[in-house]
């Protein structure tokens, strides 16, 4: 519902208000928190090895994230039906086959898709794509990434075996 200013004398229409107490800006982080609170718990069920595949499933659904490759500064949790929860908000995940070896895990949050490759019971990031301008790696069959692709950034991660629901 749009707040309206009274019609000016001699005009036949109302002008939408551009500012006022009923039109305050809401920070993005608060919007994300409110949206997450509205998500039905049934839609956020845990996933398991059957959905994650043998390689990723063997390591679990909860992962630590380290932008610098060593110190954890985030986390993500893989949920049923491709849903993802992370420190940075909700998102999606899917497996992407790349020939021989374990599939890449494509995790997306805040409009950025990260292609994660399993290495030594953890992962490294081999591709980052802004979906608004580059599209998904999973949809770009002609530009498929190879198993031998070098990491694109220092970000690394590892299984996070803390009890589900614990404060992060």
Question: What tens digit of pLDDT does each residue of 60-72 get?
Answer: 999 999 999 999 9
- Output the pLDDT for position 54: 92
User: Domains in the chain: how many in total?
Assistant: 1
pLDDT higher at 100 or 31:
100
Residue 146 lies in a domain: yes
DSSP code, position 57: H
**Both structure tokens of 163:** 């009890």
Residue 144 lies in a domain: yes
- Output the pLDDT for position 140: 66
Residue 84 lies in a domain: yes
Residue 26 lies in a domain: no
End-to-end CA distance of the chain: 37
Strand, coil or helix: 154: coil
**Nearest alpha-carbon partner for 137 in 148, 149, 125, 129:** 129
Residue 9 lies in a domain: no
Q: How confident is the model at residue 78 (pLDDT cuts 50, 70, 90)?
A: very high
Distance CA 116, CA 154 (A): 12
Residue 108 has pLDDT above 90, yes or no: yes
Residue 150 has pLDDT above 70, yes or no: yes
| Beta carbons within 10 angstroms of residue 122's beta carbon | 17
């Amino acid at each position: 519902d749009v707040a309206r200013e009274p019609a000016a004398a001699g005009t036949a229409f109302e002008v939408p208000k551009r500012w006022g107490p009923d039109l305050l800006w809401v920070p993005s982080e608060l919007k994300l928190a409110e949206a997450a609170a509205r998500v039905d718990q049934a839609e956020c069920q845990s996933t398991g090895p059957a959905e994650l595949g043998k390689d990723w499933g063997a390591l679990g659904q909860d992962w630590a994230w380290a932008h610098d490759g060593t110190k954890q500064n985030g986390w993500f949790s893989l949920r049923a039906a491709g849903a993802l929860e992370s420190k940075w908000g909700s998102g999606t995940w899917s497996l992407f086959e790349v020939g021989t070896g374990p599939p890449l895990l494509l995790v997306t949050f805040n409009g950025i898709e990260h292609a994660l490759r399993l290495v030594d019971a953890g992962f490294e990031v081999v591709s980052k794509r802004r979906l608004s301008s580059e599209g998904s790696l999973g949809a770009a069959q002609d530009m498929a990434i190879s198993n031998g692709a070098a990491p694109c950034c220092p970000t690394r991660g590892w299984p996070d075996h803390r009890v589900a629901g614990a404060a992060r």
